[in-house]
Structure 1
Amino acid sequence: MAADTAAAARNKAGAEPGAAARLREWLRGYESLPGTPDELFDPKGRPRDHWLDFLGHFAAFPAGDPGNRFGLSARHLRDSGASYRAGGETAERTWPLNPLPLILAQSEWDEISAGVEQRARLMEGILQDVYGEGRLVADGHLPAAALTGSRDYLRAMRGVAPPGGRFTHLYAADLGRGPDGRWWVLGDRTQAPSGAGYALENRLIVSRAFPNLYNTMNVHRLAPFFDAHRRGLAAAADRSDPRICLLTPGKFSETYFEQAHLARYLGFLLVEGDDLVARDGKVYVRTIAGLKRADVILRRVDADFIDPLELNNASRLGTPGMLEAIRAGGVTVLNMPGSGVLESRALMGFLPRLCRQVLGEELRMPHVATWWCGQPTEQALVQSRLDELAIAPAFNTPGGDGILSASRLVSEMSPDERQALVERMRDRPADFVGQEVVRLSTMPVLRNDRLEPAPFVLRVFAAATPDGIRVMPGGFCRTSDRADVRALSIGEGARTADVWVIGNKPVERMTLIASAEDVQVRRIMGHLPSRAADNLCWLGRYLERSEMTLRVVRSLCTSSIAAEAAARGSGESFDNLRTLLQEWGAIGDGVAADDAVATASAALLDTAAWGSVICNVRAAMRTASSMRERLSADFWALLAGIENGLATAETLTSEAEVLRLVNRALQTMASLSGLAQENMNRVAGWRFLDIGRRIERGITTCRLTRMLAHDEATTDDLDLLLDLNDSQITYRARYLIGLALTAVRDLVMLDPFNTRSLAFQLNTLREHLAVLPTLHEDGMMEEPSRILLSLSADVDTEEARKLTEDKAHRFERALMRFSNAVADRYFLQGASAVPTVKLMGLA
């Protein structure tokens, strides 16, 4: 029977020799874990039809083709910087993804969807009462201590009517298939559910790898859910065209990539706490055009950290005055602060009763049996079954002052740990719950061309929309490489999988493209957050520093390649280059003074030298990682490629090896510049990226001119200056008389037609400032424009034959003052920062 079904599936996908045999081998070698439900087989041990259909198509691919397809698509994960951080880690990990999705039939999904939808309604109803009338506690349906024992219960939210009318906009439930074959809830997520963005990324990768298979099997699309999700957020605002922000803890968040990906996909403004300011009962985004109102904030920051003024005063992730703005109805924050109280395990045992009381319905989807030790009867039961149950913190904090940070079996504890836990449970029983041991079901994963079972957890999302609660047709699935089905965490040995819900009929295709009637055409220049402008400017500066250091290293190592440059390998020119690298922090004092290769290698690869190329590139990556939602995957891939090339470089022993590495890096830098010039929209973000490069290039040009085009400069010095300024071809095409000091100075410093000259940088900077927003009401010139106009006038009227080192130094200092003025004007940072000019445009 299985072979006939596999043959039919193979015929659908196209005949491929060995497909049926491969499928039979997969099924024959698949050994599910004893006593554990498995997704591939039904309770009678027969392969489920939708899995047979999928595996039949999958087996029909030529040998090795699925791995190649998935490998090419998964490369997108690395190129786009898709990553996560495990708890307590600082380094990012590449996002781990299985090629096989979790597959669910429509009939089964309908049951899951109905259960999650009911649970989302229940959570909202409980929150409305807990922070409203409080009848559930007053009438004895819920112990007050089960709420107030949680740090996520916020007394400051009592009596506050949530703007938009809802406490929860996005709800998630972690599910597993129980021993009886039914789906069970393992945990509720009401604080700030994560994973929806990763589910979107997983779908992109798997559907790209197997597009025909994805379409043939009638997989439900995710786009309609996200469209409804976005419309639901917009409906929560009090303006028809709201500004929606996604509040992130920042780039060191464990799921920062997901937050950036989701913001980019939905068109939200990704902001951090310092990007916002609460004023007069409203919340505003600090932008380069002044304060712009934030209507809706989808938060990914725990409630305890969103307002250091009223909550955790040590928080650097929030915005002072946020709660006051919420109480005044000036901003809609979703999920509402305080909603995380429903994630407490202490509440799980009360949910069946609460469902009958709040909704008048029986709870459709069961959850793990839980006994809260804050009640005498339940405490006695847990103590009597201590070796059978899992003991866990009752609230979202470590139980018993840190004795227990996660669910554990007492039978697996050491004698000392057990004794400490027993004593703490006797002293503070309300801090703990006892739970039936969670046993996860398994799903097939592909390892070494074999199907093997892996325990998994499925997170399903439900969003409030203008049309009611809508459940994502799919979700975020985590699998484990360990055979232990009792627990799962996204750490060592854990991976993720796409989730396919198979429709009974062809699925209508949909994207997030809106109709023309729903869109107001706009061209926005000024709604760039100040932090993003700051980061983009510094990204440009780091890239320019990296490129110029590469050029210096290349000039340092041309002695054995070009005869006319042999003098650079020794003598005054070599000393000048080495001095330059030392001033830039690219090499330390321990590098041999007469060894060009050692000097070049250190300038490229020394991670202890703050100005080395690899340090500058990594600084650029750190800066870029703070605004991934604004950079394309191609940009990130090129930048990561430079870093990887430097990080994996072996010891450099010759000038030729140095030059190969430098030339590859410079070519990639050129690609980055071209990508920025041709692919980025000419809005404020691109302009600040270019402003950073122009400032850095102008400063470097002044320094090189002072060092190499002084009054006593030699032809080697002038030739080196032209080389570093990338102006050799221009000079030789223009002058046939050889190198002349005045001509070189003019070309490098004063020629407005040379794209590498100081004059060209200043003209470009003036063009950028001319179109950036201004803040003064009186029409007076702002400080950056004033400094730049004066500097440009000096450079425009300067004569090359009168250009001295002192004048070049004066130009350099003026550029530095301009850089500081740009920072003061546009890069206002910090919750307590005070603008130096009046902020306008409170819209």
Structure 2
Amino acid sequence: MADDNSTAARRRGADQLKRWLDGYRTLPGAPDELMGLGGQPAEHWMGFLREIAGAASDDRFGMAARHIRDSGASYRIYGEEAERSWPLDPVPLILSQGEWDEISAGVIQRAELMEAVLRDLYGEGRLVGEGVLPAAVVTGSPDFLRAMRGVAPPAGRYLQVYAADLGRGPDGRWWVLEDKAQAPSGAGYALENRLVVSRAYPNLYTSLNVHRLAPFFDALRRGLAATAERDEPRICLLSPGPFSQTYFEQAHLARYLGFLLVEGDDLVARDGKVWVRTIAGLKRADVILRRVDSDFLDPLELNAASRLGVPGMLEAIRSGGVTVLNMPGAGVVESRALMGFSASLCRRLLGEELKLPNIATWWCGQPREQALVEAELEHMAVAPAFPGHAGPLAGPRLFADLAPGQKAELRARLADRPGDFVGQEVAQLSTMPVLRNGRLEPTPFVLRVFCAATPEGLRVMPGGFCRTSDGADVRAVFMGEGARTNDVWIVDDKPVERMTLIQTGEDVKVRRILGHLPSRAADNLFWLGRYLERTEATARMVRALCSSVMDSESALHGRGQTFEALRAILVDWGALKGDGGLAADAVRNSLQDASAWGSVINLVRSAKRTASGMRERLSADFWGLLVDLEADLAGGAGSIHNEAEALEQVENALRHLAGLSGLAQENMNRVAGWRFLDMGRRIERGANTCQFVRTLAHDEASIDDLDLLLDLNDSQITYRARYIIGLALNPVRDLVMLDPFNTRSVAFQVEALKEHIAVLPTLQEDGIAEAPSRILLPLAAELETEDASALFADNVQRYEETLFSLANAIADRFFLQGANAVPTVKLVGLA
């Protein structure tokens, strides 16, 4: 029977493959990766297609693709606030080893050429001086930084990472469409693509001898470390921040490589070096891999409006106190104006012909080239010669496709400032197969290939970042933004050596340290803890509100003063507006009203927004639970028609919150990051409990008040196990305020905070307690000696205010941010 099933499965797979191939129609005039120039399927594609045709590939890929959502893989379109889920196609681009060897050689040559050009432009300047390059090709680019002339790169190289966008032309040769030297992005997305696709096809990935990416990233990491003066350097990845278009990729890459993800406000330039602001003072940054454009790196010498860089960064580079890669100013070689000179530059500087020619480009700053472009304008693509000089163009555009008014404007600008534009040949790109609606279809693509300087020389990633178009237009001019992305497989005809990143030998020192947590990360973790705790407390109040509305008796939680006290807290916390309306409306609004800043859904979104700024420090499980929680609440908006449905949703939210709490307690290392997350929760929980006690445990409190207080404090079981008698005021007060054994009491939170503060680093070496300890220790002593019968409202309110003062003191001491931030005490530990 098993053999029959296997035979039937193979037959179904063969039939599916035949349908795919029979229905596959290549686009006119465009070469195709599957069919090749001969029109027959390439064998290295057939092995993959046979496998996925014989399996439930959609289901299998769907399971793996859920990893994209759970990990938060995303990107952002410029100008949009919301992120978009990463659009990965299940079919990879597959290239043979022989073809890849040719591509690698061409990309390495191109990287060497760009390095040589930069060395001349920022050094002797012979290319311009001897007329090989027109001066305007260099000085016309906003990426040419005069401030870096004569500054030798501290690491000896201008380009640590280079990337080239490639497309295959009609003759079967690969062409360079664009050079990426400023701060090439996409390597982290290539890594994420591989993680997802290898989950979908684990056996096939091995059987086809697909080259692995880990050796390249290991070499990249070693190459960056080799540029530093110290043996164990601190390597940072400088990000523009969470609103960057590729922030997820930056966080993913930093986490994978073990780099410190920093923003401009995390750094300070002082004494010719760059330092990271941490909770333990300033710590030296040895190497900075930047994702911030050069012009924004230093507001003192470059763009004064920049909030992304570090004042004094260029001076630190000039003094050799920090290695910044790629070197500021490297983006000058990205200009399209330079592409028209690439072949001659290669012969001049390397003594070789280009192995990978770029798409034919004519810079209009030269009279002969300008005349050629104007004569052939209707058949050409026109593009900005330099970034920022686009005029009516946001990128390459076919002149024939422009509206009459745009054509007239472009002709006028071309006549007035011809040097701002280039003309480019309209080339037909090759296509690759993708799966759409169960069919195999050809689509145009662009391949980004990465090259890195390593201790062993230049090395090319055996794969890349592939973008495919949703449309069928194969003209290279339209490939500026890919609609989807694909993994890239380089398949060998022999088994690929498996590599591990595990280091051996005695040269790796064992460490057990608290960790130098950046101040911004500590701030975010602290507020994440506070948001999550406030969300849980609000959800518990909504659950109590549901119970009180649903109960048929008039007793439980009252519907009277107790109910109104609960509603008053929700109004005070911003979960309800005004009186909140009818009871059923109050339940629904507290949970789902997006216009109420304190509603459960808004608190969850605040937590998610805070967490998104430090994804490199949160596990995929933690992020996935947070995403699920928001999705459940947002998906349920408008679906709550009665209290029972509301209760079900709030119970589900509390289960998600319990899961997040469990992950934080059991899956996070007990280092500084966890402590700030936990401190945020403890302060918020203690302050919330104080407000509950003031509202519900006053001298005239009813049984309903005390019962609700125990519910909100999650202490019902503890109380009933300890006291056989019914509810009494002083025992309830003691349990929720003073009992050091009750994990929900204020005293327990304060003791936990004492432990955290005692372990965290101090900035003063005189033995005098810092501000957080001076606030916390008297509070702990008072709670330890307090008597429940003396817990008057004034006392409880003072404890609540003290906890908020503690939160401010922690912020003043540890969260030092901003270029002009001044610590309250002298910073020490500049190591």
Residues 680-701 of structure 1 show CA distances to partners (whole Å, capped at 9, x for unaligned) of: 0000000000000000001001
The residue number in structure 1 matching 2:326 is 335
Decide whether the 8 Å contact of 2:532 with 2:604 is kept in 1: yes
Match of 1:559, SS state, is: helix
How far the C-alpha of 1:438 sits from its partner, in A, is 3.4
| Distance verdict in 2 for CA 1:565–1:828, change over 3 Å | farther
Q: Which amino acid aligns with 1:711?
A: D
Provide the C-alpha distance between the structure 2 equivalents of 1:438 and 1:838, rounded to a whole number of angstroms: 61
The residue number in structure 1 matching 2:670 is 682
The residue number in structure 2 matching 1:469 is 458
The partner residue of 2:383 within 392, 401, 412 is: 392
Match of 2:377, SS state, is: coil
Provide the C-alpha distance between the structure 1 equivalents of 2:151 and 2:509, rounded to a whole number of angstroms: 34
The residue number in structure 2 matching 1:613 is 600
Residues 772-813 of structure 1 show CA distances to partners (whole Å, capped at 9, x for unaligned) of: 111101111001011000111111111111110000011111
Q: Give unpaired runs (5+ residues) of structure 1.
A: 1-10
Match of 1:215, SS state, is: helix
Identity of aligned residues (%): 68
How far the C-alpha of 1:397 sits from its partner, in A, is 1.6
The residue number in structure 2 matching 1:524 is 513
Provide the C-alpha distance between the structure 1 equivalents of 2:126 and 2:7, rounded to a whole number of angstroms: 59
Match of 1:18, SS state, is: helix
Q: Which amino acid aligns with 1:37?
A: P
The residue number in structure 2 matching 1:496 is 485
Match of 1:292, SS state, is: strand
Match of 2:289, SS state, is: strand
The residue number in structure 1 matching 2:742 is 754
Match of 2:220, SS state, is: helix
Match of 1:153, SS state, is: coil
Match of 2:467, SS state, is: strand
Match of 1:422, SS state, is: helix
| Distance verdict in 2 for CA 1:490–1:643, change over 3 Å | farther
Decide whether the 8 Å contact of 1:478 with 1:490 is kept in 2: no
The residue number in structure 2 matching 1:670 is 658
Decide whether the 8 Å contact of 1:393 with 1:432 is kept in 2: yes
Decide whether the 8 Å contact of 2:548 with 2:563 is kept in 1: no
Decide whether the 8 Å contact of 1:558 with 1:565 is kept in 2: no
The residue number in structure 2 matching 1:137 is 128
Provide the C-alpha distance between the structure 1 equivalents of 2:278 and 2:515, rounded to a whole number of angstroms: 7
The residue number in structure 2 matching 1:354 is 345
Provide the C-alpha distance between the structure 1 equivalents of 2:705 and 2:427, rounded to a whole number of angstroms: 74
Note the 1:398-477 alignment, pairs <5 A. 398-399=389-390, 402-477=391-466
Note the 1:138-157 alignment, pairs <5 A. 138-157=129-148
Match of 2:288, SS state, is: strand
Match of 2:577, SS state, is: coil
Residues 677-720 of structure 1 show CA distances to partners (whole Å, capped at 9, x for unaligned) of: 00000000000000000000010011111111111111111111
Decide whether the 8 Å contact of 2:549 with 2:559 is kept in 1: no
TM-score norm. by structure 2 comes to 0.98
How far the C-alpha of 1:15 sits from its partner, in A, is 6.1
Note the 1:121-520 alignment, pairs <5 A. 121-399=112-390, 402-486=391-475, 487-488=477-478, 494-520=483-509
Residues 738-774 of structure 1 show CA distances to partners (whole Å, capped at 9, x for unaligned) of: 1111111100100000000000000000010111111
Provide the C-alpha distance between the structure 1 equivalents of 2:442 and 2:555, rounded to a whole number of angstroms: 65
Residues 806-834 of structure 1 show CA distances to partners (whole Å, capped at 9, x for unaligned) of: 00011111111111000000001101111
The partner residue of 2:713 within 725, 745, 758 is: 725
The partner residue of 1:766 within 744, 754, 765 is: 754
How far the C-alpha of 1:490 sits from its partner, in A, is 7.2
Decide whether the 8 Å contact of 1:597 with 1:652 is kept in 2: no
Decide whether the 8 Å contact of 1:288 with 1:526 is kept in 2: no
Instruction: Determine whether 1:636 maps to 2:623.
Output: yes
Provide the C-alpha distance between the structure 1 equivalents of 2:816 and 2:603, rounded to a whole number of angstroms: 24
Q: Which amino acid aligns with 2:607?
A: A
Aligned residues: 825
Q: Which amino acid aligns with 2:159?
A: T
The partner residue of 2:700 within 712, 718, 724 is: 712
Note the 1:39-118 alignment, pairs <5 A. 39-61=33-55, 65-118=56-109
Decide whether the 8 Å contact of 1:13 with 1:57 is kept in 2: no
Provide the C-alpha distance between the structure 2 equivalents of 1:89 and 1:368, rounded to a whole number of angstroms: 32
Q: Which moved more, 1:794-803 or 1:511-520?
A: 511-520
Residues 314-345 of structure 1 show CA distances to partners (whole Å, capped at 9, x for unaligned) of: 11111111111000100000001000000000
Q: Which amino acid aligns with 2:368?
A: T
How far the C-alpha of 1:560 sits from its partner, in A, is 5.6
Residues 549-603 of structure 1 show CA distances to partners (whole Å, capped at 9, x for unaligned) of: 00001111113655678443621011101100010001112731xx221001111
Q: Which amino acid aligns with 1:92?
A: E
Q: Which amino acid aligns with 2:815?
A: F
Provide the C-alpha distance between the structure 2 equivalents of 1:490 and 1:632, rounded to a whole number of angstroms: 33
| Distance verdict in 2 for CA 1:13–1:751, change over 3 Å | farther
Instruction: Determine whether 1:37 maps to 2:28.
Output: no
Decide whether the 8 Å contact of 1:297 with 1:332 is kept in 2: yes
Match of 1:718, SS state, is: helix
Match of 2:379, SS state, is: coil
| Distance verdict in 2 for CA 1:36–1:306, change over 3 Å | same
Provide the C-alpha distance between the structure 2 equivalents of 1:752 and 1:276, rounded to a whole number of angstroms: 41
The residue number in structure 2 matching 1:776 is 764
Provide the C-alpha distance between the structure 2 equivalents of 1:380 and 1:616, rounded to a whole number of angstroms: 61
Decide whether the 8 Å contact of 2:160 with 2:453 is kept in 1: yes
CA RMSD of aligned residues (A): 1.5
Provide the C-alpha distance between the structure 1 equivalents of 2:747 and 2:784, rounded to a whole number of angstroms: 7
Provide the C-alpha distance between the structure 2 equivalents of 1:418 and 1:716, rounded to a whole number of angstroms: 77
Decide whether the 8 Å contact of 2:446 with 2:479 is kept in 1: no
| Distance verdict in 2 for CA 1:12–1:101, change over 3 Å | farther
Provide the C-alpha distance between the structure 2 equivalents of 1:569 and 1:750, rounded to a whole number of angstroms: 27
Q: Which moved more, 1:632-641 or 1:560-569?
A: 560-569
How far the C-alpha of 1:116 sits from its partner, in A, is 0.3
Instruction: Determine whether 1:652 maps to 2:652.
Output: no
The residue number in structure 2 matching 1:696 is 684
TM-score norm. by structure 1 comes to 0.96
Match of 2:164, SS state, is: strand
Provide the C-alpha distance between the structure 2 equivalents of 1:15 and 1:577, rounded to a whole number of angstroms: 62
Provide the C-alpha distance between the structure 1 equivalents of 2:556 and 2:16, rounded to a whole number of angstroms: 67
Q: Which amino acid aligns with 2:531?
A: Y
Match of 1:291, SS state, is: strand
Instruction: Determine whether 1:22 maps to 2:9.
Output: no
Match of 2:137, SS state, is: helix
Provide the C-alpha distance between the structure 2 equivalents of 1:565 and 1:140, rounded to a whole number of angstroms: 94
The residue number in structure 2 matching 1:545 is 534
Instruction: Determine whether 1:578 maps to 2:567.
Output: yes
Residues 173-203 of structure 1 show CA distances to partners (whole Å, capped at 9, x for unaligned) of: 0000001000000000000000000000000
How far the C-alpha of 1:398 sits from its partner, in A, is 3.4
How far the C-alpha of 1:14 sits from its partner, in A, is 11
Decide whether the 8 Å contact of 1:775 with 1:837 is kept in 2: yes
Residues 333-365 of structure 1 show CA distances to partners (whole Å, capped at 9, x for unaligned) of: 000100000000000011111111111111111
Provide the C-alpha distance between the structure 1 equivalents of 2:830 and 2:23, rounded to a whole number of angstroms: 66
Provide the C-alpha distance between the structure 1 equivalents of 2:210 and 2:126, rounded to a whole number of angstroms: 44
